Every structure is written in C-alpha cells, then in structure tokens.
Amino acid sequence: MTSTGQDSTTNRQRRSRHNPHSPSHNSSVISKRGVKKGAVPRSSPSLAEVKKKGRMKKLSQAAEQDLIMGLQELDLNLEPKALSGTGLVFEEQLNEFHCLWDDSFPECPERLHAIKEQLTQEGLLDRCISFQARSAKKEELMLVHSLEYIDLMETTQYMNEAELRILANTYDSVYLHPNSYTCACLASGSVLRLVDAVLGAKVRNGMAVIRPPGHHAQHNLMDGYCMFNHVAVAARYAQQKHDIQRVLIVDWDVHHGQGTQFTFDQDPSVLYFSIHRYEHGQFWPHLKASNWSATGFGRGQGYNINVPWNQVGMRDADYIAAFLRILLPVALEFQPQLVLVAAGYDALQGDPKGKMAATPAGFAQLTHMLMGLAGGKLILSLEGGYNYRSLAEGVSASLHTLLGDPCPMLESPGAPCLSARTSISCTLVALKPFWEVLMQSAETLEEDCVEKDKEEGPWEPPVPQIMAWPMLCARTGLIYDRRMMNHYNLWDNHHPEMPQRISRIMCHLEGLGLTERCLTLPARPATDAELLTCHRWGWNHLTAHQCSSHASSAEYIARLRATENMKTRELHREGANFDSIYICPSTFTCAQLATGAVCRLVEAVLAGEVLNGTAVVRPPGHHAEWDAACGFCFFNSVAVAARHAQAISGHALRILIVDWDIHHGNGTQHIFEDDPSVLYMSLHRYDHGTFFPMGNEGASSQIGQAPGVGFTVNVAWNGPRMGDPDYLAAWHRLVLPIAYEFNPELVLVSAGFDAAQGDPLGGCQVSPEGYAHLTHLLMGLANGRIILILEGGYNLTSISESMAACTRTLLGDPPPLLGPLRPPLSGALASISETVHVHRRYWRSLRIRKVEDKEEEPSNSGLVTKKEPQPANPGSAKGMARPEENILEAGMGKATSASPVEESIPGQAKSEIATVELAKDKSLEKAPDSQTPEEKLLGEAAGGQDLDDSKLMGFGDTDEATFYAVTPLPWCPHLTAVCPIPAAGLDVTQPCQDCGSLQENWVCLSCYQVCCGRYINAHMIQHHEDLGHPLVLSFVDLSTWCYHCQAYVHHQALLDVKNLAHQNKFGEDMPRPH
C-alpha cells in the first residue's frame, strides 16, 4: 500500500520529490508520492510476514519509548548555559584631563558627559552590569608598547604646561596633560577588565566608555589623540592570560587605526578589519598603508583588511555592504574566539571630522552582525566621535543592541553607492588570494545598469532619525496545539509527514527549558475570511479556459471541509486528486488550526505583545496553491499570515518571506508573484527542474510578474550536499543585500528543516548551528519582528535540534560557534551567481564589480592633520595644527606616522581581472568632462577593441592608462530573441534611424533597426525600453550587449551576425580563436 493510494488524475504535471534520475544520497529516501503510473507494483507480503513485522515494530516502539523516558529523567544537556548580561565600564576619573592650551580641542571631557546623560536618560546604566575600572600595569602595556616609551609617558605627570606642549608637538595631533598618563592607563585597564569578565563567563559582552582613544598609538609613538593602544593591548592580553588563539579587531572609526594595523600586520593570530575615510590618501593619517592594497606581511599577509572610503557622505548601506561582502565571510573562515571593536562614532552624520552620513541605527546593525561571531564574545572600546549628540546616540544604539534590544529600522537603507561598491571590489580583489571563501567568487566583472546615473546625484544629508526602542513584556512567542497531531496517514504510519514531528520538537524545547522562556500563546483556527485572502479566485494568473475549469476558492475550502465526514475510501480517493497529499477526517481542522495559529502569532508581534515568535505547526503550507492542496500542504499558512498582517496594519506592510525549506514554495511564489509589497526569497533544491515540485517554477529566471517583477528571488541548488557554507554565502552575497535594500517591516520564515543533516528527503547538510546563524542575521531586519513557521523536515532529531537552535537565537542567545567551514561548493556559487545575474538589474545592492582601483599618492598640498587647522594668529595659543607642515616628513626630531615597513602588494594569482599598463598615447587624450572614471568604464557603449572573447576598457586622465579586460557572459537566457539576419545583410555605416548620427551606432538583433548609443542620443536605449528587445550589436567594436542581463555576451549563436558585420566593416572574415 502506498502513502497516498491511487495515482493522481489531476491535470498538474508535478512529480514526486524523490527523483530516480538524481544522484542517490541516502538509501532511505522517501518520496512525497507513492507508486506512480508505470511503476512496477510490489508483491504482497504473506500473512506471517505481516504479523512478524508488526510484532517487531511493536517491540521496537516499546524499547524506543523506554529509552526516551529514561533519557528524560537524566540531565543530558551538556551544553553550557547561555550567558546573559552586558558589562559596562564608565569611569568618571577619565574626565580629569583636557588640553591646557586649546579649550576647543575636539577630544575633551564633554564627550563622556554627553554619553552619560544619554545613557542615564534611556535607563541603560541600570540595565548593564557595572565593572570598576582599573589601571593597566606596565607589563600589560609592554605587550604592545616599548618600556622606554611607557617610561617617557609616565614622566609627563611631573611636567609643567610648557614642557608638555613641547613634547606634544613632537607627535602628530596630540596634547598632553599631567593626568594624561593616569587616564590612559585607566582606559587600557578598563578594556582588560571587560576581557576578564567576558572570557571568565561573567557577562556575555561589554562596552568600555573611555578616553583618551587608542587605535592610532604605536609601539613607541603617540598619535592622533592616542597614548596607548587599548584594543591592541587587550588582544595580546587575551592571548597571554586566557589562551585565546584568534582575535578579530574591527575598527569602524572614521580614521584608519594605523597603530593597530602596524602592531599586527605580521601576525596571523589577529585579524584586523578597518573601514575608514581615505579619499585616495587626502584624509588623515595620509598613509598608503591605509589603502585596500595593504594586506599584511609575511605570515600575516591577508590578515589585514582595509576598506577605504574615497568620498564623504557614506551611509548605512555602504557600511552594511562592506560587512556582508567582506568582513562576515572572512571572519567566519577565521573563526575568532574574541571580537574587539575600536568603536569610534565619528562616521555618524553631523560629526565635524568624519563628514559621513551613517546613523546610530546603522551602528546598531553593525553591532548585531558582530554578535553572531565568537559565540557572542564581543567587547566595544570607545574611540573617536566629536559631535556630542551623535556620539551619545551612537554609543546608546550599540549598547541597546548588546543588551539584546532589536535593531531599529533604517530610515532609508537603499543600496551602496558606486564609490562604496568600487572600494569593496578593490578590497575583495586584494584579499582573494588569501581566503578560500573569496577565492571562488560568484560574480564576474559586469556592467552597471543604466539606472546608475540616478543614484549618483549630489549628496544631501538625511533627516536625523528619532529612534524608538520597544518596551516588551516578553521577547519570543511560542504557539503550538497538540490537536494538530490528529492529522495523520490512515494507510501508511511511516509517512514522513507524521504527527510526531511537532510533538518531538516541543518535547525537545521543554527539555532545554526554552518553553519556559517563551510566552506560550493559544492557537485558534483561521477564519474563512482569512483563508480567502490567499485561497481565492486567481484572476490575474488564469486564462478564461482555466477559470472555467477550476473551482472557486470558496468551493475549494468547502471541498476540504467536506472531508471531515467522508469515509476512508472516499478520503483515499480525494487525496489522490492532489499531488503528494493524504487526507483523514481531522485534516481540515488541523490545517485550519495551523494557519490560524500563525495568524495569532502575527497579531502578537504586530501588537508588541512579543518581539518575535516560533510557530510549531502542521500540516505545512508553502506548497498549497490558491485552489489546490499540494506536497503535504492544504492552506498556505505563511501567505495567509502575510495578508493578515497587512490587513491588521491597515496598509501594504512590506513583508519579507524567506523560504529555506529544501523544496521550492511554489504556492507562496504564485500567490505573491505580482505583488511588490511582499518579497519572496527561496533557497531550495532544483536539480535542473527534476526535484519536487518539478518543472521550472523554482528556477532563478522566475522573477515575478509586473508590478512584482524582481520581488521573487529563487536560489536554485542543482544538487545535494549543500551545507552551512553554501547557505551563509547566499545570505552574505544575495539574501541580506536584497533584504536590507527592501527594508521589510515584518519577516516571515517558511522554516522547513529538510535541508538539515540527516533528513531523508533533502540530502543536504545544514547544521542546527547553521540555522541559528541564518536566523540571527535575519533578526537585524524589520525592527526584530520575525516569525519562524515550521514547514518540512522529516528527521525527528534534526528538526528538533534545528528548531531549538533557532528558538534560542530568537530568545537572544548568541548563535553557537560553527565548526571549521569548508569553502562553498562550486555548484552553490554557480547557483548564487545565476540569481545575482538575474536580479542585479532590480537590486542595486547586487552590483558589486570586480574592478581594481588605481592607487593614488597623496599630494602634499592637500594634507591636513587630524585636528582642524586654526587661523594663523601669532598671539594666540591656538593654531596647534599647521597646515603648511607635511606630517609625513620626519625632521627636527619630529615623530613620523609612516609604517616602519614597505607597503604590502597583494599576489597576482587568481585575479579575475587582467590589468594592462600602456603608455598613454596623445591620440587618446580627451577634453575633461564631468564623468567619473567609473562612469566611463561602464555601460553598453563603453568602446574599446574586440580582443577575442574579451574587451579592453581604460581609465584616462593618468600618466599611464589602465585598461581592464572584461570577460563577457558565455551564455544568456535571451539568446532566443536573436532573429535571422535580413536578406539585405548588414550595413555598418548605416546612420541612426532617429537622429541620423553616424557615431557609436548599434543594431538590434531582433528587428535589425539601427540606433545610436547612450553617449550620442541614447536612441538604442529608448528602442529597448519601447520594444523590450534585449540584444544589440555595436558597429564600433562588434561587441554584443544584453540589456536584460546588463552584460556583454559572447556565444556561438552570435558568430554569424558578428562575422557578417566584420566582413562589412573590414572586408574579410572575423578571425576565429584557435
């Protein structure tokens, strides 16, 4: 007897989830369907065999039950209890120094006064665990600094003002006070106090609100307001005292922490990441070592990461993109045991030095991302920040996040700007030889979309955001009702979608004490009105013939309700009318209850009753179509919940649905495919259309229908064995960039756990820890309003452990440490890349280009010190910064900030971009215009010469022009639009049909009309927008451009038309590559 009885007579053509043609990964694989048409029937067992099997099964069930009861009596949960609490060091004594000769010096006691006032006002001081500051000992400071230097600083306690000023002037951008040494020792000791507390398991994380800052201080050198390098000392201290092997230092101060970099640039045990204003060396500290090309030396090469910002006004989206594309992937490969942050807040909007546009909410996001590393062992150490209000709000936002409060929504997250994408790309190129996760890049060099000109307008400061932190009675809601176990298969009690799925999950949650930490909510059945919001007449999707042949939604609901009174044989027959479905008398009630339970949880989250939630429900829902059950699913719970959320909020709430079930959620996709208010993102096994639900519905090319085009995103895995590295790569490169750009107000997760290790259907290898990390990263969105809804998952142990890991994370526990991660599979990267190619025209956050930046030497005339220059006034004590001095010069005993070693040059191996230096020919000189080099590089009319399958493009305005070889796509899905060449052939001298121009003309390969390119009158662009024809051929260099893919294409199907154009242009056939 099969799991579902007779073969389906439905007109749907979907097949079983079990594909006999896919690679066999598990001999116990169970299909969603039983016997299909044409299958060889199994012979019936004898009566004796049946009785024997029944006795053995009964005995095994009894033994299993005894084992479970025995285990429940034991405390086998050997996992350490999750730490709680945030440590805070705030010492008033640190305000007992200031600049004696310049009352306007930016680094002043008022900074800490403003912070204390803000923290007191928001009640944060009382919520933290306070630690008394202590002074760092000399031997602790000597872990980074020389004894001679420390002794010199110690003598400053006994100097008068004149002596202090003379000594201070031998350094760059510092002042000295008799209390400077004492306070600097106290500041370093404060960070060490938190290191002991975090690594000693007294608190989960912490923050040191200290001054003076420290990240510019070097081995024997004061620099940039800094005397001792607090985070560097703390890193060495953690290694020496606590036997920590790997430390990550993140420096988000707007100034590069050159002191920290020089301390560790030959040390592979410390990974240093700095994101800072650089402006091609024009911004302090004016060092080439601050550029992306400085990756470290010797064994430390690759462990120094610089992301240099080359313009002001950088926003939250730029910082988030750098974290997602660079820091998080590398950090997960590095696997730090402790994370230290040089937390300067001078990149916030309004800071007089940084002139950036980041917001406190943006820094909350960065803090949240870092909390997923090192088991949550995270310490922030205050560095810069000189606008008192923004500084105080930035510290407050980070502290809220450390305490577990949800990240505020970003007002206008948008996408990273072109300059940011260029900087990120350059850093990726420099790091690629050193990190496996970056070696197999998912993207190739591509063209920016035509919309780029719109995003690069004049920068305008955003309106300051007023942040509100929700006050919640409970953090995580949990909904479950054992009545949902009444849905079961009458004919096959080994069917994978069994009642024990939810009972085992709840048993595991109770055993770990997680249910006690959640607010348990009562389930309720969904109303017909709620069900009809999704299971209704599909006018937008059906033809007239289809409409006439389908039952209305009300009839579908009535049809399912009628099964409550059917006999067994009728139920069997009715189930066979759908794909991979069984029905029992309680099915309708259970499906109605599962959907209503999710709606109840949505109500609790939107009302602020809870922050987030978990719905342990069955039957699952994401396969259910508007008018048909499918794949174990009857009502589409997540879709109904989304519509319910929009209904009770009173507007088209922006909702992100992430579906990580191993099977594509065809029903959810169809319900929302024309709705831009719901972004549906699915990661699933596709296997080139042979994995359930079969066909092309889950292909990456499925992007939605107008006006919802671009709001359906499919990552289609084409094989088994996908694991944590593959899903995390998809999160970093695709899911989160799009999600932040979409900026949802609610996140719903179709949380199927059949991609987990050991699942009999999925064949994949995602761990419970991996699911915890995916959940944690999603929690930064939507003000933390996220709900996980159980879908599939058929290994009872796997789903129980995975749901528990996700629930812990929702409750605020840090994600557990991941084991050593292999690089993402090449097949996984190919799938991610395919989706990126499809969607980069709709989402600017995906347009990271592999383009190398041309390093520029800082010009002496543009150098300024970290301090603002003062007006020249011989009679004034101000004017400490002298603009006429070059701070990189060492003279008259003046200390230099330059690196003691030469700059690192990254290896050339594995670079995907060929850079060719050519002597600049006078014939290439052009009059200056307003376009940036990046703008000249990109676009369908980029020019250059056709070199085999590549295209060389150059940046001008330099003594030596840099050319970039662009590798075109070897294939694109729009080649079918190429039509046969007209009988009249081609005429490459033909003018533009609209303006008569003879320059930079292109021919459409669909209709063979000739129009000019974008740098003439852009008539070919207009032609594409009017008619939608995708592929065009350049009469200048015979390159082919696809507007839909936003990329050059070189394929066999294009050779005939290219060859004909070559004959017409040069009088001979096009040379073929050997």
For 111-138, the pLDDT digits (tens) are 999 999 999 999 999 999 999 999 999 9
Contact of 469 with 127, CB cutoff 8 Å? no
What's the rounded Cα separation, in Å, for the pair 829 and 824?
7
Residue 20 pLDDT exceeds 60: no
pLDDT at 920: 32
pLDDT at 1071 over 70: yes
What is the tens place of the pLDDT at every residue in 185-244?
A: 999 999 999 999 999 999 999 999 999 999 999 999 999 999 999 999 999 999 999 999
CA angle 1063, 1069, 1074 (to 5 degrees): 150
CA 446 to chain centre: 20
pLDDT score of 583: 97
Q: Which helix (H) or strand (E) holds 64?
A: helix 47-73
Helix, strand, coil percent values for the chain (each to nearest 5) = 35, 15, 50
The per-residue pLDDT for range 446-480, each reduced to its tens digit, is 444 434 434 454 445 555 566 667 666 689 999 99
pLDDT digits (tens, 9 = 90+) for 88-117: 999 999 999 999 999 999 999 999 999 999
Q: Per-residue pLDDT averaged across 431-452, rounded?
A: 65
Instruction: Kindly state the average pLDDT of the residues 656-681.
Output: 98
- pLDDT above 90 covers what percent of the chain? 70
- Give me the percent of the chain exceeding a pLDDT of 70: 76
C-alpha separations of 125 from 116, 560, 631, 866 in Å:
8, 57, 52, 32
DSSP labels, 950-985: EEEEEE-SSSEEEEEEEPPBS--TTGGGPPPPPTT-
Strands, E assignment, 652-768 = 655-659, 678-685, 712-717, 746-751
pLDDT exceeds 90 at position 555 = no
User: Which pair of structure tokens corresponds to residue 308?
Assistant: 């240099």
Query: How does pLDDT run across 310-359, given as a tens digit for each residue?
Result: 999 999 999 999 999 999 999 999 999 999 999 999 999 999 999 999 99
Residue whose pair of structure tokens reads 């794909």 in the numeric block: 579
Residue 800, helix vs strand vs coil: helix
- Looking up tokens 């997923």 gives 372
Longest dimension (CA), the chain: 111
- In degrees, rounded to 5, the angle at the alpha carbon of residue 108 between the alpha carbons of residues 106 and 111 is 95
Ranges assigned E (strand) in 26-160: 86-90, 129-130
Binning pLDDT at 50, 70 and 90, where does residue 78 land?
very low
What distance in Å separates the CA atoms of residue 734 and residue 824, rounded to the nearest whole number? 14
**pLDDT tens digits for range 776-822:** 999 999 999 999 999 999 999 999 999 999 999 999 999 999 989 99
Query: Confidence band (pLDDT; 50, 70, 90) for 863?
Result: very low
Which residues make beta-bridge pairs with 1033? 1003, 1040
d(CA 8, CA 10): 5
Provide the 3-class DSSP secondary structure of residue 714: strand
Per-residue b or e along 58-96, where b marks 16 or more CB atoms closer than 10 Å to that residue's CB: eeeeeeeeeeeeeeeeeeeeeeeeebebbbbbbbeebbe
Position 31 scores a pLDDT of: 40
Q: What phi and psi, each to the nearest 5 degrees, are found at residue 465?
A: -85, 140
**For residue 193, what pLDDT is reported?**
98
Closest by CA to 454, choosing from 412, 414, 411, is: 414
Residue of higher predicted confidence among 966 and 962: 966
Kind and range of the H or E element at 60? helix 47-73
Q: Which residues pair with 723 in a beta bridge?
A: 765
Alpha-carbon distance of 119 to 125, in angstroms, equals 6
Alpha helices, H only, 172-275:
180-199, 230-242, 258-264
Q: Burial code of 876-888, b = ≥16 C-beta within 10 A, e = fewer? A: eeebbbeeeeebb
Does residue 433 contact residue 909 with C-beta atoms inside 8 Å? yes
List CB contacts of 410: < 8 A, sequence separation 6 or more.
316, 317, 359, 361, 362, 365, 740, 743
d(CA 90, CA 1019): 63
| CA dihedral sign of residues 592, 598, 599, 601 | positive
DSSP letters for 540-551: TT--HHHHHHS-
- E strands along 51-204, which residues? 86-90, 129-130
- Contact 1003/929 with Cβ under 8 angstroms? no
- In this prediction, residue 4 carries a pLDDT of 35
pLDDT, averaged across the chain: 83
Across the range 41-64, mean pLDDT stands at: 43
Helices (H), 811-947: 826-839, 933-937
pLDDT category at 850 given cuts 50, 70, 90 is low
> What's phi and psi for 410, nearest 5 deg?
-80, 135
The torsion angles phi and psi of 86, rounded to 5 degrees, stand at -120, 120
Task: Tell me how many degrees the CA angle 404-405-408 measures, rounded to the nearest 5.
Answer: 135
Distance CA 431, CA 322 (A): 13
Distance CA(392)–CA(116), nearest Å, equals 8
Taking only the tens place, the pLDDT of each residue in 901-928 is: 333 333 333 333 333 332 333 322 333 3
Q: How far apart are CA 528 and CA 554, in angstroms?
A: 8
- Residue 1046's pLDDT is what? 80
Query: So which residues are the catalytic ones?
Result: 216, 623
pLDDT confidence of residue 1073: 54
pLDDT tens across 490-506, in order?
Answer: 999 899 999 999 999 99
pLDDT of 512-548, one tens digit each? Answer: 999 999 999 999 999 999 999 998 754 344 333 334 3
* Stretch 854-879: mean pLDDT: 37
Residue-level pLDDT at 1047: 84
Q: Given a cut of 90, is residue 1020 above it in pLDDT?
A: yes
Can you give the pLDDT at residue 463? 57
For residues 247-268, give the mean pLDDT: 98
- Cα 177-180-181 angle, rounded to 5 deg: 130
Is 208 within 8 Å of 194 (Cβ atoms)? Answer: yes
Contact 828, 658 (CB under 8 A): no
C-alpha pair distances (Å), 946 with each of 940, 1016, 1042:
14, 21, 16
Sort residue 412 into left (φ over 0), alpha (ψ -120 to 50) or beta.
Answer: beta
> Is residue 753 within 8 Å of 581, Cβ to Cβ?
no
Which residue, 550, 587, 543, is CA-closest to 568?
587
User: Which has the higher per-residue pLDDT, 181 or 943?
Assistant: 181
Number of CB atoms found within 10 A of residue 373's CB: 26
What number is the average pLDDT over the span 20-47? 36
Q: Tell me, what amino acid is at 681? A: M
- What's the Rg (C-alpha) of the chain? 32
pLDDT band for position 441 (cuts 50, 70, 90): low
C-alpha to C-alpha distance for 1060 and 985, rounded to whole angstroms: 8
What's the Cα-to-Cα distance from 739 to each of 79, 365, 679, 844, 848, rounded to whole Å? 33, 13, 8, 12, 16
Q: Which of 734, 807, 742, 295 is nearest to 505 (CA)?
A: 807
Q: pLDDT, tens digit, for every residue of 975-987?
A: 888 999 999 899 9
Per-residue pLDDT, averaged over 1037-1049, amounts to 87
